[in-house]
Amino acid sequence: MPKKSSPQKSREPSVRALAGTVFITRQVHFNSAHRLYNPTKSLAWNQKQYGMCTNPHWHGHNYVLEVTLKGQPDPVTGYIMDLARLKKVLHTAVVDKCDHRNLNDEVDFLRGIIPSTENLVIAFWHEIAPRIHLPARLHCVRLYETPRNFAEFFGPAHH
């Protein structure tokens, strides 16, 4: 007696979502000039406080901005956020506004702020945060002014 063939079940590939909080980081670069100067203080005070960084003819940096997001990977894409999309966000929020600009005079969201690295990471956070959507959450903004000098900000909730 011939063996009956059994109907084959079509097997959909299974996809597993792995649980865990993941941190992803994107790095972008821009070049800007600035002057550290507090207009409420005397020139002598500014020179003593900031030294060469208060040069009235400005000085520049090759900045490196690193932005870290955290979250649970989406079960469909496996992403917290597509890094190409994060790159676009960083360019729209910061790089396109700051690259080859004078941070004191040409960047609207920095007007009236002393553009120290510390103030810049806080200002950049506020520009980036509204553009980040779940499942991603903004975790850290780190700005390198030089390869040896950087500041990082973990958001207004961290004191």
Which domain CATH number covers 129? 3.30.479.10
Q: Is the dihedral of CA 119, 124, 130, 133 positive or negative?
A: negative
Residue pLDDT, tens place only, 100-113: 999 999 999 999 99
Residue 28, domain member (yes or no): yes
| First vs last C-alpha separation in the chain | 80
Identify whether 56 is part of a domain: yes
Question: Which of 7 and 93 is assigned the larger pLDDT?
Answer: 93
CA atoms within 13 A on the CB side of 57: 0
pTM of the model: 0.88
pLDDT of residue 4: 60
In a domain, residue 3? The reply is no
Number of domains in the chain: 1
Q: Name residue 138's beta-bridge partners.
A: 69
Neighbour tally for 103: CB within 10 Å: 24
pLDDT in tens, 61-102: 999 999 999 999 998 889 999 999 999 999 999 999 999 999
Q: Where are the beta strands (DSSP E) in 95-157?
A: 101-102, 137-144, 150-153
For residue 13, what pLDDT is reported? 73
| Residue 98 a catalytic site member | no
Q: What is the span of the domain harbouring residue 69? A: 22-153
Runs of H (alpha helix) within 14-57: 43-50
- What is the C-alpha to C-alpha distance for residues 134 and 74, in angstroms, rounded to an integer? 9
pLDDT > 90 in the chain, percent: 81
Q: Is 106 a catalytic residue?
A: no
Q: Determine which one of 53, 91, 106, 126 is catalytic.
A: 53
SS3 state of residue 21: coil
Is residue 145 part of the annotated active site? The answer reads yes
* More confident position, 39 or 4: 39
